[in-house]
Each structure stands twice: as C-alpha cells, then as structure tokens.
Chains A and B, each alone.
Chain A
Amino acid sequence: SSGKVNHASNSKGISLPMTRVKLIMKSSPDVSSINQEALLLTTKATELFVQHLALSSFNNGSGKDQTLLYSDLANTVEEKETFQFLTDILPKKILVRDYLKLLEENPIEEADN
C-alpha cells in the first residue's frame, strides 16, 4: 500500500510525506535528532499552513476568474504579519519592460551585471 500514501490521508489525517518533512527539518543547522511527536506536529502544522496561506491569498485576490495567482500570494505575504517571514522568497513579479521603465525614472547605482 505504499503507492497509496501519496494519494490519501493516512489514519492520522495527514496527507504530507513525513520523511520528506523530516529531511527539511534536519537541514536546519542546529538540529540533530527529531522527536517523533515533533515531526507529527510539524507535518500537521505545515498542512494547516498551506490551507491558511492558500485561502487567505485566494480571498485577497483580484476577484477575477476565481483563480489563485502568484501575485495574490505576494500581496498577502506583504500585508499580513503572520506571513512576514516569507517576504524574502516571495518578491512581486514585474515584467522586464516595466522594470526598465522604473529604472529610467529612478536611476540607481547598478552593481556589475
């Protein structure tokens, strides 16, 4: 039944692979071993996090199309304090031509390209 693991919640109501969660946790610099309950808790919290982020961003969205867009996520992360830790990895996107226009209007010191 290993094939089923990814397609349904297990008996604990968790639908994310805990071995992978554990791998990510272990990549933190000061962590050596991980208590099983901590792993379970983290996995469940991650699931709730995804739900919370997705729904908040969806509700925050532009309203067209009922589609959750990257920009909805970027906006939500900027606006909501609980998501502030994500601001570095969720920059707003801009088309090159718009960025170049912005540069023309506000010249900055450019490092080596």
Chain B
Amino acid sequence: MEGDGSTTDASQLGMPGEYMAGSHYVLQSQEDDCDESLHDHEEGNGSKENFREQDIYLPIANVARIMKNAVPQTGKIAKDAKECVQECVSEFISFITSEPLKLYLQKFREAMKGEKGIGGISVTEGLGEELTDDSFANQLPAGIITADGQQQNVMVYTTSYQQIPGVQQIQFS
C-alpha cells in the first residue's frame, strides 16, 4: 500500500468506525463486497491475549443464522451487513452490561446518602468484611464502596434481588 491517503481499499482503513475528519462517513471499496474480512471477524481467535474490548465478537456463523431466521425466507444478507451486526452485538452486550450498573450505582449512592445516622462509608465498612461470593449472588446491590475508597463492582442481576429501601428497581427495556 502506498503512503498516500487516497486508498479506496476499505480493508486497509481498519475498523469501520473510523471517520474522515469532520464528517461521519467511512470509505467504501469500489466493490461492495469486501472479501478481506476485517481482523477478528472470523473465527480462529482462540488466544485471549491482546484483545481490545472491541475485538471480541460472537461467531459470525451464529449471528448470521439468527439474522437469516429473522428475515423472510426469500431474504438474503450482504456479507458486510453480517459483519456489521456482529460488531453491533458486541456493542450491545457492553452497553447493557455497563449502563444499568452505572444507573444503579448512582441511585444506590443517592439512597445511602439519605440514610439516617449512617454515613455512606460506615455502612459499607461493616458490609465489606462479611462479603463472600455467595452473598453477592442474591442479596447485595451492584456496587459497594469499601472502606479504603476502592470501588468494588459486582454485576448482580437476579430475577429477585433484595429490595433496598429507597432504591428503585431499574427498569430497562
């Protein structure tokens, strides 16, 4: 590849998320169908080293099959559409993993502030010592700030977690 910026080969531009300055476009190769898959779209990434968060995808075969079953029988799916949805899936998983947690922590902290006679810190100091993996499983809120100020976050969504007075259950669609 030459050193000038005028390549039309999308596969050399890296991830489709790259933008030209000031706009929201990604360059597309002259043929619609990129035979060269962007790295990590295909299987074979068995090694877990050096994975950036956005490089971890679900297998494209599984994703493609779900898509195929969702559209009418006569429908077809372009290859770059499959790859794109594969990336969207990882984004979706990250999104639903992190967003409710953030909201919940926010509400939890607000609720704790209001508790009579209990400072936020002292509540958690006591809890901190008794916590085990089992106790996280069903009863405790998603985020605890321990006495040393370190935030320990544990993902807890169970179908029935213990209600904490003053904290609303998060609804998400």
Contacts and interface: CB of A to CB of B under 8 A. Distances in A.
Q: Interface SS of chain A: helix, strand, loop or mixed? A: helix
Nearest to B27: A96
Interface residues of A, number: 61
Interface string B38-67: 000000000010010100111101110111
A72 B81 contact: yes
A90 B89 CA distance: 12
B33 to A, nearest CB: 10
A68 B154 contact: no
B26 interface: yes
A105 interface: no
B62 A93 contact: no
Contacts of B5: 113
Given A24-B94, A45-B96, 18 more contacts: A6-B61, A20-B58, A24-B58, A33-B133, A34-B155, A35-B136, A35-B155, A37-B157, A50-B63, A50-B70, A58-B71, A58-B72, A58-B75, A67-B75, A68-B81, A70-B84, A82-B173, A91-B19
Interface of A: 6, 15-17, 20-21, 23-25, 27-35, 37-38, 41-42, 45-47, 49-55, 57-58, 65-70, 72-73, 82, 85-86, 88-96, 99, 102, 108-111, 113
23 contacts: A15-B66, A16-B62, A16-B63, A27-B53, A27-B94, A28-B97, A30-B153, A31-B154, A33-B133, A33-B154, A35-B157, A38-B158, A46-B89, A46-B92, A70-B84, A89-B16, A90-B16, A91-B24, A92-B25, A93-B26, A93-B28, A96-B28, A99-B25
